[in-house]
Amino acid sequence: MSILNKGSKLYSIFLNLCPKCHEGKFWKTDNPFKNILLKNSESSISCDKCMIKYELEIGFWYGAMYISYAIGVALMLLLWGGLILCFPLMDITILISLVVVGILIFCPINYHLSRLIWVNIFIKYQGDVN
Ligand SMILES: [Zn+2]
């Protein structure tokens, strides 16, 4: 079975699908830049198909910050390494500025992915619910 087949966690994470049924959407849209503008009460509440409530307990989404932090650090290291390799003589101020700008641009995608990863840790795929 490929890791991107239905039933795998990566399938749910990268296709923005409910972790339990892999049918309904997790985020209302697939566009992270639109999702970040939604209020918490408007986004990722429950699945339209299997009706599971994504927020398992009060404060559940705080845990997604750990994932977000890890993604942010990984991105920072990637940007830093890539820039140092391509422009070894770049001024440190410009280098730091570019890394910060890169992380800020990636923020909505990070937010989008971190909640999907977090919810997939706790909710397992349970096959077709129909
Ligand atoms: Zn579902």
Using one digit for the tens of pLDDT, what is the confidence trace for 66-97?
A: 999 999 999 999 999 999 999 999 999 999 99
Distance 66 CA to ligand 1 centre (A): 24
pLDDT digits (tens, 9 = 90+) for 25-47: 999 888 888 877 776 656 778 99
Residue 1 lies in a domain: no
Cβ–Cβ under 8 Å, residues 65 and 110: no
What's the domain range around 14?
A: 9-122
Residue 2 lies in a domain: no
Number of separate domains in the chain: 1
Distance 9 CA to ligand 1 centre (A): 13
Helix, coil or strand: residue 30: coil
Distance 74 CA to ligand 1 centre (A): 30
Distance of CA 107 to the CA centre of its chain: 10
Distance 48 CA to ligand 1 centre (A): 7
Sign of the torsion angle spanned by Cα atoms 35, 39, 40, 42? negative
Q: Could you tell me which of 35, 37, 106, 119 has the C-alpha nearest to residue 72?
A: 106
Residue 114 lies in a domain: yes
Rounded distance, CA 120 to CA 98, Å?
A: 32
pTM over the 0.85 mark: yes
Residue 39 lies in a domain: yes
Residue 127 lies in a domain: no
Distance 19 CA to ligand 1 centre (A): 7
